[in-house]
Amino acid sequence: MDLDIVKTALKRCELFEGLDEGQMGVLVMRASSREFCAGETVYERGDDSGGTFALIGSGKISVVAQNGFVLNELGVGEIIGEVGVITQQDKRTVTIKTIEPTEILEWHVKDVEEGSPEFLKRLKELAWKRMKYWNE
Protein backbone atom coordinates (compact mmCIF):
# COMPACT_ATOMS: atom_id res chain seq x y z
CA MET A 1 0.00 0.00 0.00
CA ASP A 2 1.28 3.46 -0.87
CA LEU A 3 2.74 5.25 2.17
CA ASP A 4 0.82 8.48 1.47
CA ILE A 5 -2.47 6.55 1.32
CA VAL A 6 -1.64 4.88 4.63
CA LYS A 7 -0.82 8.18 6.32
CA THR A 8 -4.04 9.73 5.00
CA ALA A 9 -6.07 6.80 6.37
CA LEU A 10 -4.31 7.03 9.75
CA LYS A 11 -4.97 10.77 9.95
CA ARG A 12 -8.68 10.22 9.21
CA CYS A 13 -8.99 7.79 12.12
CA GLU A 14 -9.68 9.35 15.52
CA LEU A 15 -8.09 6.32 17.18
CA PHE A 16 -4.68 7.51 15.96
CA GLU A 17 -5.31 11.21 16.59
CA GLY A 18 -2.30 13.15 17.83
CA LEU A 19 0.36 10.83 16.43
CA ASP A 20 3.44 12.49 14.99
CA GLU A 21 5.15 11.40 11.75
CA GLY A 22 7.57 9.15 13.64
CA GLN A 23 4.81 7.32 15.48
CA MET A 24 2.87 6.89 12.23
CA GLY A 25 5.98 5.46 10.61
CA VAL A 26 6.31 2.88 13.39
CA LEU A 27 2.66 1.91 12.97
CA VAL A 28 3.09 1.46 9.24
CA MET A 29 6.14 -0.76 9.80
CA ARG A 30 4.23 -2.96 12.26
CA ALA A 31 1.16 -3.36 10.03
CA SER A 32 0.35 -6.20 7.67
CA SER A 33 -1.31 -5.15 4.44
CA ARG A 34 -4.09 -7.36 3.05
CA GLU A 35 -6.02 -6.93 -0.21
CA PHE A 36 -9.53 -8.19 -0.98
CA CYS A 37 -11.75 -8.26 -4.07
CA ALA A 38 -15.36 -7.08 -3.89
CA GLY A 39 -17.60 -9.56 -2.07
CA GLU A 40 -14.86 -11.24 -0.05
CA THR A 41 -15.08 -11.93 3.68
CA VAL A 42 -12.45 -10.15 5.74
CA TYR A 43 -13.58 -11.41 9.16
CA GLU A 44 -16.19 -14.10 9.88
CA ARG A 45 -18.46 -13.96 12.93
CA GLY A 46 -17.35 -16.54 15.52
CA ASP A 47 -13.75 -16.83 14.31
CA ASP A 48 -10.91 -16.17 16.75
CA SER A 49 -9.73 -12.57 16.51
CA GLY A 50 -6.13 -13.52 17.23
CA GLY A 51 -5.82 -10.11 18.88
CA THR A 52 -5.90 -8.35 15.50
CA PHE A 53 -7.85 -5.37 14.25
CA ALA A 54 -7.52 -3.34 11.06
CA LEU A 55 -7.77 0.06 9.45
CA ILE A 56 -9.44 0.39 6.06
CA GLY A 57 -6.81 1.94 3.81
CA SER A 58 -8.88 1.86 0.62
CA GLY A 59 -12.27 0.56 -0.42
CA LYS A 60 -15.50 -0.02 1.46
CA ILE A 61 -16.88 -2.80 3.66
CA SER A 62 -20.19 -3.86 5.18
CA VAL A 63 -20.69 -4.98 8.78
CA VAL A 64 -23.12 -7.92 8.73
CA ALA A 65 -25.04 -9.31 11.73
CA GLN A 66 -25.71 -13.01 12.33
CA ASN A 67 -29.16 -12.69 10.69
CA GLY A 68 -27.61 -11.20 7.52
CA PHE A 69 -28.75 -7.64 8.29
CA VAL A 70 -26.20 -5.00 7.26
CA LEU A 71 -25.47 -2.99 10.41
CA ASN A 72 -23.20 -0.43 8.80
CA GLU A 73 -20.95 0.40 5.88
CA LEU A 74 -17.44 1.67 6.58
CA GLY A 75 -14.74 3.22 4.41
CA VAL A 76 -11.24 4.68 4.44
CA GLY A 77 -9.92 5.56 7.87
CA GLU A 78 -12.40 3.34 9.74
CA ILE A 79 -11.39 0.61 12.18
CA ILE A 80 -12.70 -2.98 11.94
CA GLY A 81 -12.25 -5.95 14.25
CA GLU A 82 -11.94 -3.91 17.45
CA VAL A 83 -14.85 -5.56 19.28
CA GLY A 84 -13.37 -9.06 18.96
CA VAL A 85 -10.07 -7.79 20.32
CA ILE A 86 -11.47 -6.29 23.52
CA THR A 87 -13.94 -9.05 24.48
CA GLN A 88 -12.90 -11.88 26.78
CA GLN A 89 -13.98 -14.49 24.23
CA ASP A 90 -11.54 -13.06 21.66
CA LYS A 91 -14.06 -13.88 18.91
CA ARG A 92 -15.33 -11.91 15.94
CA THR A 93 -18.82 -10.65 16.77
CA VAL A 94 -19.90 -9.73 13.22
CA THR A 95 -18.96 -10.64 9.68
CA ILE A 96 -17.04 -8.06 7.65
CA LYS A 97 -17.46 -8.26 3.86
CA THR A 98 -16.02 -6.04 1.17
CA ILE A 99 -18.37 -4.01 -1.02
CA GLU A 100 -15.63 -3.03 -3.46
CA PRO A 101 -11.92 -3.88 -3.80
CA THR A 102 -10.45 -3.09 -0.39
CA GLU A 103 -7.06 -2.95 1.26
CA ILE A 104 -6.64 -3.06 5.01
CA LEU A 105 -3.76 -2.51 7.39
CA GLU A 106 -3.89 -5.06 10.19
CA TRP A 107 -2.15 -4.98 13.56
CA HIS A 108 -1.95 -7.09 16.66
CA VAL A 109 -3.32 -4.93 19.47
CA LYS A 110 -0.19 -5.42 21.63
CA ASP A 111 2.09 -4.06 18.89
CA VAL A 112 0.13 -0.82 18.70
CA GLU A 113 -0.51 -0.53 22.43
CA GLU A 114 3.26 -0.46 23.11
CA GLY A 115 3.66 2.67 20.99
CA SER A 116 0.72 4.54 22.51
CA PRO A 117 -0.36 4.03 26.14
CA GLU A 118 -3.65 5.81 25.41
CA PHE A 119 -4.38 3.47 22.51
CA LEU A 120 -6.12 0.58 24.31
CA LYS A 121 -8.44 3.01 26.10
CA ARG A 122 -9.45 4.59 22.76
CA LEU A 123 -9.93 1.16 21.15
CA LYS A 124 -12.23 0.05 23.98
CA GLU A 125 -14.25 3.27 23.77
CA LEU A 126 -14.74 2.76 20.03
CA ALA A 127 -15.78 -0.87 20.52
CA TRP A 128 -18.31 -0.03 23.25
CA LYS A 129 -19.73 2.83 21.18
CA ARG A 130 -20.26 0.52 18.20
CA MET A 131 -21.76 -2.29 20.27
CA LYS A 132 -24.21 0.15 21.85
CA TYR A 133 -25.17 1.54 18.41
CA TRP A 134 -25.69 -1.93 16.91
CA ASN A 135 -27.80 -3.09 19.85
CA GLU A 136 -30.22 -0.13 19.66
Q: What is the pLDDT of residue 58?
A: 92
- On the question of pLDDT at 133 being above 60, the answer is yes
The separation between CA 89 and the C-alpha centre of its own chain, rounded to angstroms, equals 18
Cα distances from 99 to residues 6, 8, 105, 119, in angstroms, run 20, 21, 17, 28
Model confidence at 127: pLDDT above 90: no
Q: What is the pLDDT of residues 41-98, one digit of tens each?
A: 999 999 999 999 999 999 999 999 889 999 999 999 899 998 888 777 789 989 999 9
d(CA 129, CA 15): 13
Domains present along the chain, CATH in parentheses: 3-135 (2.60.120.10)
Q: What is the pTM of this model?
A: 0.84
Instruction: Give the pLDDT score at 134.
Output: 60
